[in-house]
Structure 1
């Protein structure tokens, strides 16, 4: 069964290491909380707010072993007043779990984005 898992993290700065560290934390938490391996992951879409340009978030996933998983990065739309410095992901996974058993992950300041589903 294919399920989608959402997540986001607010990073400290538009710096390569901050983006990689934050994305690593986010991807690791999604994988751990949902008891996944990279073999379970079909694809991952990463987005970053327009103020994050120092690195591609997908590089962090590659460094975690997502070598054969299709990954793509895109820019979030620039909505006035929106939260700055946010990396988001939507992972498509192949797991036999009910939708309500999926653990969506919102970390640091990004937890305020989806208090309804954040774990």
Structure 2
């Protein structure tokens, strides 16, 4: 079965270190909570809001994780919606799994918790 795993996190500082640390934290928790192995992953989409302008691609955080070097990743800009959450990194990971949709753990950290309060435990 093919499933999507979603996650998001906000950053405090628009810096290379801020982006990479937040992205690493988000990936680590998504992987841990869902028991994801790199071989299960078909692709990963990462979007950032317009106010994240540092020269760091969030995908670099995943590339430093052992075993994740060959997972296809694409970074992109989130659409600019007036009043939307700022300084936000969003992830959509496509995985092969036997889990039901209700068993997938989507992860929303920091200010991004407001995006899906229904999924907060």
Shared fold (TM-score greater than 0.5)?
A: yes
Separation (CA, whole Å) in 2 of partners of 1:61 and 1:31: 11
Describe the superposition over 1:11-49 as per-residue Cα deviations: whole angstroms up to 9, x where unpaired.
Answer: 111100000000000000000000111111111000000
Cα deviation, residue 118, structure 1 = 3.8
Which residue matches 2:99? 97
Structure 2: gaps (5+ residues) = none
Aligned residue for 1:84, secondary structure, equals: coil
Which residue matches 2:111? 109
Separation (CA, whole Å) in 2 of partners of 1:13 and 1:46: 18
- From 87, 90, 94, the equivalent of 2:89 is 87
Separation (CA, whole Å) in 1 of partners of 2:2 and 2:120: 20
Separation (CA, whole Å) in 1 of partners of 2:62 and 2:51: 20
Written as runs of structure 1 = structure 2, the 5 A alignment for 1:28-39 is: 28-39=28-39
Describe the superposition over 1:56-113 as per-residue Cα deviations: whole angstroms up to 9, x where unpaired.
Answer: 1111110113211000000011111111110000000011100110000000110111
Which residue matches 2:61? 60
Supply the RMSD in Å over aligned alpha carbons: 1.0
- Tell me the TM-score normalised to structure 2 length: 0.94
- Tell me the TM-score normalised to structure 1 length: 0.96
- From 71, 75, 78, the equivalent of 1:69 is 71
